[in-house]
């Protein structure tokens, strides 16, 4: 199992190595790495990358299990509009949006903030939206053993907006479900609640 926090010495070593690589990249872009505005850029970028990929050093199952509570509640728990930012593994450009989570407890619940932390953990890795959606759902299923889980993720991808087809308004929606949400009626109950506000506009 991964440690939730990375060793400080290892983190510094990684920061130094990333800094060196970015210092070498700047001339390849046609820039002067000794220019005043760029002298400290490789170090800044290295620190940003360590923050944006910190999810590799966090254990999402342990996060959920750190706040488990015995509870006889067996109805749907829904947490909507969890904002996230991630990096597309194909172009290393951001994609961002909102995750919506529903689960039906089976004797245990977790702190609601832990669900948001799980989204943060998986989004702070190089990702594709499809896999991230599935990972979040499977993590909750493993950690809580609920009757079922469903995750819906809506996102904009800068690799589509800034390059290639350059479609500014395109949204991508992905879904993954387990257990009780394999039933179309249960899925519809969640989706009806999730998109009710949009239909009423």
Among 127, 129, 135, 141, the one annotated catalytic? 129
> How far, in Å, CA of 36 to CA of 21, rounded?
19
Q: What does the pLDDT read at residue 5?
A: 58
Q: Would you call 159 a catalytic residue per the annotation?
A: yes
Helix ranges (DSSP H) in the chain: 8-28, 41-52, 60-65, 112-123, 129-144, 158-161, 184-200
> How far, in Å, CA of 142 to CA of 71, rounded?
18
Among 15, 91, 138, 193, the one annotated catalytic? 91
Considering only CA atoms, which of 128, 115, 141, 123 is closest in space to residue 174?
Answer: 128
Among 58, 88, 127, 177, the one annotated catalytic? 88
Q: Would you call 141 a catalytic residue per the annotation?
A: no
Q: Would you call 124 a catalytic residue per the annotation?
A: no
Q: Would you call 90 a catalytic residue per the annotation?
A: yes
Global pTM value: 0.91
Among 5, 21, 74, 90, the one annotated catalytic? 90
Q: Would you call 129 a catalytic residue per the annotation?
A: yes
Q: What does the pLDDT read at residue 195?
A: 83
Q: What is the pLDDT along the chain (201 residues), one digit of tens a residue?
A: 344 456 888 999 999 999 999 999 999 999 999 999 999 999 999 999 999 999 999 999 999 999 999 999 999 999 999 999 999 999 999 999 999 999 999 999 999 999 999 999 999 999 999 999 999 999 999 999 999 999 999 999 998 877 766 566 678 999 999 999 999 999 999 999 888 766 555
Place of tokens 């998109």: 195
Among 6, 108, 159, 189, the one annotated catalytic? 159
Q: Would you call 157 a catalytic residue per the annotation?
A: yes
- Which domains, from first to last, does the chain contain? 8-52 (1.10.286.10), 61-200 (3.30.1130.10)
| 52 in Cβ contact with 87 (< 8 Å) | yes
Q: Would you call 176 a catalytic residue per the annotation?
A: no
Q: What does the pLDDT read at residue 1?
A: 39
> How far, in Å, CA of 112 to CA of 79, rounded?
8
Among 100, 124, 157, 176, the one annotated catalytic? 157
């Amino acid at each position: 199992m991964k440690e939730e926090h990375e060793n400080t010495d290892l983190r510094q070593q990684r920061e130094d190595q990333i800094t060196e690589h970015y210092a070498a990249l700047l001339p390849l872009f046609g820039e002067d790495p000794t220019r005043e505005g760029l002298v400290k850029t490789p170090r800044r970028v290295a620190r940003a990358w360590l923050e944006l990929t910190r999810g590799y050093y966090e254990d999402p199952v342990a996060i959920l299990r750190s706040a488990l509570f015995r509870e006889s509640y067996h109805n749907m728990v829904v947490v909507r509009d969890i904002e996230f930012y991630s990096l597309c593994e194909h172009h290393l450009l951001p994609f961002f949006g909102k995750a919506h989570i529903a689960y039906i407890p089976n004797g245990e619940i977790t702190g609601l903030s832990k669900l948001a932390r799980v989204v943060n953990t998986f989004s702070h890795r190089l990702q594709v939206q499809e896999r991230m959606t599935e990972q979040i759902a499977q993590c909750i299923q493993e950690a809580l053993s609920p009757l079922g889980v469903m995750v819906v993720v809506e996102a904009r991808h800068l690799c589509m907006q800034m390059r290639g087809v350059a479609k500014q308004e395109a949204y991508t929606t992905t879904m993954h479900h387990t257990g009780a949400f394999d039933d179309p009626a249960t899925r519809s109950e969640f989706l009806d609640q999730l998109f009710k506000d949009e239909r009423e506009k």
